[in-house]
Structure 1
Amino acid sequence: MNQLLQISACAVTLLLSTSFMAQGQVKEDFVPSTKNHPGKEYPMVNSQGYARFKVDAPEAKSVTVTLGLGGSGGTKLEKQADGSWMGTTAGPMDEGFHYYHLIVDDGTFNDPGTLNYFGSCRWESGIEIPAHDRDFYALKDVPHGNVQQVLFNSPSTGTHQRAFVYTPPEYGKSNKKYPVLYLQHGWGEDETAWSSQGHANLIMDNLIAEGKIDPFIIVMTYGLTNNVKFGTIDSFDAKEFEKLLIDELIPYIDANFNTIPDKDHRAMAGLSMGGVETKLITTRRPEVFGYYGLLSGGTYAPEDLKDSGVKLAFISCGSKENPEGVTAAAKALKDAGYNAVSYVSPGTAHEFLTWRRSLYQLAPMLFK
């Protein structure tokens, strides 16, 4: 498990050059990133996956752009005649979403040109490298579901906790009841991640509009992960979150939403450390969930699922992570008689495009 957080901290690290690449190597078709504030030109991305940054800091002595969960990597930008600092990535970035921030002299700052996203236990800047298959999470002219914030009492933590609940477009138009997927974020993130960085609601809207899934509810809450420090993951048991989830959140959701409140209509999945939580909780409480999903969050072995009655074990990762391990684990489960599916996201590492694609693959398999 230690390796899992190490991957989280460095798998999407990207090196930046201090000067622009030669004209013949980098196409000058840069456009503003879709994660920019309205009207902001930088950062920019081009058709090859390069990113270009411009930071106005005329009094600064140095400016560095860092990329990747945890802010590792990066290099200093070059100061321009007008006092701005500019630089272009040394090579193409992986498709999809990336966190980053700025180091201006000795201070850490977000890029004023971009929207902010909670990652690395802080609000980070975000940049989107357009993916060739981005249509499945694009905002389209289709019926849209609702993502609403709910606050539920949590005696175990001594406070109220927050969750975001996705309900499909048809929800509330009849007395129909729906299955529920409890979908967890990774370390350093929170309950906003799946609907902001992950576009889970748009993925669902598009799948429903295309008739590829029967509608269901998604619940996203904070997994109590971010007090865990690097080097201590082996002692993490998720028991505090297990109590919150099973004794507090699930009863609240079943009491306040039109759910089908049984194991066969309830799933749990999570990315990275959320996958670790999913594995720990589903194996300890098999009577609660009928469908399991580990997205870059480890694997199940046949002995983990003994007497679980699980209907589906879905295991995924990026091709730059541990694809052989994921594929082998699913095969072992299938050989043992379990309904297991592996998925490997092509050309991605421990990053949100891996998990967007994983959700897109998982959703049509749930509640069958």
Structure 2
Amino acid sequence: MSFAQFGFSQSNSLPVADDFKPNSINQPGKLFPQVNSEGRVRVQISAPEAKLVQLDIGAVKYDLVKDEKGLWTGESAPQDEGFHYYQLNIDGASVPDPGSLYFFGAGRWGSGIEIPAKDQDFYALKNVAHGQVREVIYFSKINNSMRRCFVYTPAEYDKDVNKRYPVLYLQHGGGEDETGWASQGRANLIMDNLISEGKAKPFIIVMDNGTWRMPEGTRPPAQGERPAQWPPKGWADGFMKTLLEEIIPMTDASYRTIADPQHRAMAGLSMGGMQTRVITLANPDIFSYVGMFSGGSISLEDIQGASLGLRKK
């Protein structure tokens, strides 16, 4: 997902629990960034010549303090549980934190941090049978470019070469790319855990890049404004054509899928949820299951105005 950046700046003056620990998604061997029991994020960076260094997280900038060695250190207010994008701001220039792993979000590679969640067990890395996340590179005639997707196959996939699987086409949020669901989203670990606990039947997940520009002259609605049609007509056409004519046929040809609508699903986060809405409403004969996560919903008007095939579902 992409987040607007506002010009708030804050210095942290409240008492802070001194139980910071290196984050679980740091670069190997790096002590910073750190998170404490309150969900505060502490960062540190060497910038001896800098005049101002800030931690930019959750649309708030927090001033860091410089010591005599040129090390800048500081922390944020408590953050919500879960994954967060963040960056450092050095004399006005936004840069990734060299201590964190990098994730693609907000249209760039940047830093990420995990605030431990009470329900984190379902996406934790455990000693269970693990599937594979396979990188697939292909040429798109529709897009006239080389493209890439990632395909999750369950742990049992290579053990029975006669078994076929349902497929979920899972789309990322705005400003993210095809790496999002298997990286910061941990879709593969979620599936591994659910399958190992008997809570899900094994299936394949395809994660492709759904970023396409809006039609010319189109903008998102302003606050309080609702245009006659949103998303605008044609918004998802580019990716929809690639998905239906290239990605799905390629997946069915390359993997042991159950290649029928009854065993095909589409879901997405934010922008990907909106794409899911547009594409599945227009193609009820292709998908039988739909999931939208903070990306809008299917209204009664959508159903009434949809094809007979969708209304039957």
Structure 1 length-normalised TM: 0.76
Contact residue 94 and residue 129 of structure 1 kept, 8 A: yes
Q: 1:128 is matched with which residue? A: 114
Which secondary structure does the structure 2 equivalent of 1:64 belong to?
strand
Provide the rounded CA distance (Å) in 2 between the counterparts of 1:241 and 1:216: 23
Q: 1:323 is matched with which residue? A: none
Contact residue 16 and residue 87 of structure 1 kept, 8 A: no
Which secondary structure does the structure 1 equivalent of 2:48 belong to?
coil
Report percent identity of matched pairs.
50
Provide the rounded CA distance (Å) in 1 between the counterparts of 2:159 and 2:213: 38
Provide the rounded CA distance (Å) in 1 between the counterparts of 2:312 and 2:260: 23
Q: 2:65 is matched with which residue? A: 78
Letter of the structure 1 residue corresponding to residue 29 of structure 2: G
Letter of the structure 2 residue corresponding to residue 197 of structure 1: Q
Contact residue 17 and residue 87 of structure 1 kept, 8 A: no
Provide the rounded CA distance (Å) in 2 between the counterparts of 1:30 and 1:16: 22
Of 66, 86, 97, the residue aligned with 1:100 is 86
Unaligned runs of 5+ in 1: 311-335, 339-368
Of 25, 33, 53, the residue aligned with 1:43 is 33
Contact residue 213 and residue 235 of structure 2 kept, 8 A: no
Of 243, 246, 249, the residue aligned with 2:244 is 246
Provide the rounded CA distance (Å) in 2 between the counterparts of 1:211 and 1:152: 34
Q: 2:286 is matched with which residue? A: 288
Contact residue 172 and residue 180 of structure 2 kept, 8 A: yes
Q: 1:27 is matched with which residue? A: 17
Provide the rounded CA distance (Å) in 2 between the counterparts of 1:230 and 1:181: 33
> Across the two proteins, how many residue pairs are aligned to each other?
299
Of 256, 271, 296, the residue aligned with 1:273 is 271
Letter of the structure 1 residue corresponding to residue 276 of structure 2: T
Contact residue 19 and residue 77 of structure 1 kept, 8 A: no
1:207-246 alignment runs, 5 A limit? 207-225=194-212, 232-233=219-220, 234-235=231-232, 237-246=235-244
Q: CA RMSD in A?
A: 2.4
Change over 3 Å in CA distance of 1:76–1:87 after alignment to 2: same
More off after superposition, 285-294 vs 80-89: 80-89
Q: 2:11 is matched with which residue? A: 18
Does structure 1 residue 187 correspond to structure 2 residue 177?
no
Provide the rounded CA distance (Å) in 2 between the counterparts of 1:67 and 1:227: 28
Contact residue 183 and residue 220 of structure 1 kept, 8 A: yes
Letter of the structure 1 residue corresponding to residue 169 of structure 2: Y
Contact residue 55 and residue 84 of structure 1 kept, 8 A: yes
Deviation per residue, 1:300-337 (Å, 9 max, x gap): 11332355656xxxxxxxxxxxxxxxxxxxxxxxxx99
Provide the rounded CA distance (Å) in 1 between the counterparts of 2:185 and 2:216: 24
Provide the rounded CA distance (Å) in 2 between the counterparts of 1:30 and 1:15: 25
Letter of the structure 1 residue corresponding to residue 135 of structure 2: Q
Change over 3 Å in CA distance of 1:14–1:132 after alignment to 2: farther
Which secondary structure does the structure 2 equivalent of 1:215 belong to?
coil
More off after superposition, 50-59 vs 121-130: 50-59
Provide the rounded CA distance (Å) in 2 between the counterparts of 1:144 and 1:14: 43
Which secondary structure does the structure 2 equivalent of 1:171 belong to?
coil
CA shift at 1:66, angstroms? 1.1
Provide the rounded CA distance (Å) in 2 between the counterparts of 1:194 and 1:118: 11
Unaligned runs of 5+ in 2: 221-230
Provide the rounded CA distance (Å) in 1 between the counterparts of 2:216 and 2:120: 34
Provide the rounded CA distance (Å) in 2 between the counterparts of 1:123 and 1:308: 43
Change over 3 Å in CA distance of 1:14–1:254 after alignment to 2: farther
More helix by share: 1
Letter of the structure 2 residue corresponding to residue 47 of structure 1: S
Does structure 1 residue 66 correspond to structure 2 residue 56?
yes
Change over 3 Å in CA distance of 1:274–1:202 after alignment to 2: same
Letter of the structure 1 residue corresponding to residue 258 of structure 2: I
Q: 2:224 is matched with which residue? A: none
Q: 1:257 is matched with which residue? A: 255
Provide the rounded CA distance (Å) in 1 between the counterparts of 2:256 and 2:189: 21
Which secondary structure does the structure 1 equivalent of 2:127 belong to?
coil
CA shift at 1:18, angstroms? 2.7
Contact residue 14 and residue 93 of structure 1 kept, 8 A: no
Letter of the structure 2 residue corresponding to residue 243 of structure 1: K
Q: 2:3 is matched with which residue? A: 9
Structure 2 length-normalised TM: 0.89
Provide the rounded CA distance (Å) in 2 between the counterparts of 1:230 and 1:206: 45
Does structure 1 residue 57 correspond to structure 2 residue 43?
no
